[in-house]
Structure 1
Amino acid sequence: MLFLARMDVTFPESLSAEQVAKFQVLEKEYSGNLQRSGKMAGIWRVVGEYANHSLFDVESNDELHEILSGFPMYPYMKIKVTALAKHPNSIR
Structure 2
Amino acid sequence: MASSDHYSQELNAQFGRAVSRGMKHILINARELHSSLDDFPGSNDRLVSCRLVMRNEMKAGDVLVVEEDHLVGVTVRYLLPRAAH
Bigger strand share: 1
Where on the TM-score scale, by shorter chain, does this alignment land: which range? 0.3 to 0.5
TM-score, reference length from structure 1: 0.36
Tell which has more relative contact order, 1 or 2 (C-alpha 8 A, sep 6+).
Answer: 1
TM-score, reference length from structure 2: 0.38
Bigger helix share: 2
